Amino acid sequence: MNPYLGEFLGTILLILIGEGVVAGVLLKGSKAENAGWLTICITWGLAVTMAIYAVGDSSGAHINPAVTIGLAVSGDFEWGMVAGYILAQLAGAFSGAVLVWLHYLPHWKGTKDSAAKLAVFSTAPAIRNSVSNLFSEVVATAILIFGILFIGANEFTQGLKPVVVGALITTIGLGLGGTTGFAINPARDLGPRIAHAILPIPEKGNSDWGYAWIPVVGPIIGGTLGAVLYGLIY
């Protein structure tokens, strides 16, 4: 498979499952309604695992611009492919969000909370403070990239690494995600936020563009720092 197509399809799968569980937990009338934060964090980890199994052989399953940039900084990925990967990831994230919208189509009208509807698509801070929120995204993404690099440096039973990376995502969500919802992925937040702005969702409210730069800039900074830190230590 073409690596750019792999990134596109892998990111669709990530968003369909990851944002699908958020929709299930938050939207009215879902059988998973109120299942809670633990359910969301575990499912995001599993979504990453499934995406890696699906397209890892074709593209490496970055499915995240912060990962792509971090691996380029560490020397493990070609800079010439970075822009194409990021575009594929953004397109995949947007497409995955549209599929989530379609999957839960009857539930949007019954959900009156516009913030809950936006939360299906993109992240928002628990307490809005730009400096603190940016710091949270930087730290969480630095841990993500540092973790991916040291996981890659270790030997595991054949086929086990995707599970370990998924566990890393769940760990970050449970340990560090309570402040901002742990975007740790610019495509995961920006692509679906654009979908939220475009899609005809009843009483959806605004797409909170004033906050949107934080889950983009924070992970890029954090991904770079994680790669640099790994290089300095190892």
* CATH code (residue 136): 1.20.1080.10
- How far apart CA 30 and CA 73 sit, in angstroms, is 42
85-122 pLDDT per residue, tens: 999 999 999 999 999 999 999 999 999 999 999 999 99
Q: Which residues contact 10 (CB under 8 A, 6 or more apart)?
A: 51, 52, 54, 55, 59, 61, 63, 92
Mean pLDDT, 10 residues at a time, the chain of 234 residues: 97 98 98 98 98 96 98 96 98 98 97 97 98 98 96 79 96 98 98 98 97 98 97 90
Domain that residue 147 falls in: 3-233
Strand stretches in 45-174, DSSP E: none
Helix count and strand count (H, E) for the chain: 10, 0
Q: How far apart are the first and last CA of the chain?
A: 33
Q: What is the number of structural domains in the chain?
A: 1
Q: How far apart are the C-alpha atoms of 47 and 17, rounded to whole Å?
A: 6
